Amino acid sequence: MLYSILMFLAWFLGIIVALFLFFWALAFVLRLPVFSIKAQNFIAKIGFPFLIFFMRIKTVVVGRENIPKIYPEGYCIVSNHQSAYDIGALVAQFPDPVAFIAKKELRQVPFLGSWMITIGCLFIDRNNMRQSLDTITRLGSQKVRDGQPMIIFPEGTRNRQNKLGKFRPGSLRMATEAKAPIVPVTMVNSFMAWRGYPFKSQTVTMHVHPIIPYETYKDMKITELCDMIEDIIASSLPNEE
């Protein structure tokens, strides 16, 4: 029995490592100038469904009809943040190649850093937050205006429970300065995604809410917009009190 378990673990981990190495190498090759942006985006998107499958995580999408279909303009996905899995789920479920903001140290991580650069992520220096946030807002809003969807986590960090942390209105400046549509998303139970792995699979629910056009919020104060989005995201979280 013990031998079978050890062999299963060795096989499973071997596949995971092989996938990481394969996609890291392919992402590096596709970043060469001979490949188009479309080709780069393709490899950026196909990696996560494979990893999600082997990590035994099932994602149930509620409101799939609200996911923009290859949107001609950029938009911002605003979501709560429970775990690193949130990013993988959003990248896998949205048809457009979406990018996000990450700490600059991740840029140096093998495979992950190459993949993040390929999809257009922005990197923040947490030792100089004010300057980094101003730069991120400027660069991020320009990316969105150019048609690049961006993920925004208003809580600023992972909150490992089905409750919301404090939303930061300033995080929405990327969307407001780009005059971009906003897609609110609620992640439920993603903080449990890897619990019991590899012996137990987990189910994560993603609620995609109706898109908020710029015309709907253009006259709002950023604090009012933040409160509205927070209420929308909170509406799909389970009441665990």
Q: Residue 106 belongs to a domain with what CATH number?
A: 3.40.1130
pLDDT at 34: 47
pLDDT of residue 58: 82
Token output for 80: 């709560």
The count of structural domains within the chain is 1
Q: Cis omega (within 30 of 0) on the bond before 198?
A: yes
- The residue range of the domain holding 219 is 2-234
Residue 204 lies in a domain: yes
Long-range contacts of 48-52 (CB under 8 A, 24+ apart): 48/88, 48/91, 48/92, 49/92, 50/19, 50/23, 51/16, 51/19, 51/88, 52/88, 52/89, 52/92
Is 117 a domain residue? yes
Q: Is residue 145 part of a domain?
A: yes
Q: 240: closest CA among 184, 164, 167? A: 164
Instruction: Round to whole Å and give the CA distance between 212 and 34.
Output: 38
Query: What confidence score (pLDDT) does residue 66 get?
Result: 95
- State the pTM of this model: 0.80
pLDDT on residue 188: 92
| 19 within some domain | yes
61 within some domain: yes
* The pLDDT of residue 123: 87
Per run of 10 residues, the mean pLDDT along the chain (length 241 residues) is 62 63 59 55 63 74 89 87 87 84 80 74 77 79 90 85 87 94 94 66 90 95 96 88 55
Strand ranges, E, within 117-197: 122-124, 150-152, 182-188
> Alpha-carbon distance 134 to 125, whole Å?
11
Is 122 a member of any domain? yes
| Confidence at residue 183, expressed as pLDDT on a 0 to 100 scale | 97
In a domain, 132, yes or no: yes
Would residue 240 count as lying in a domain?
no
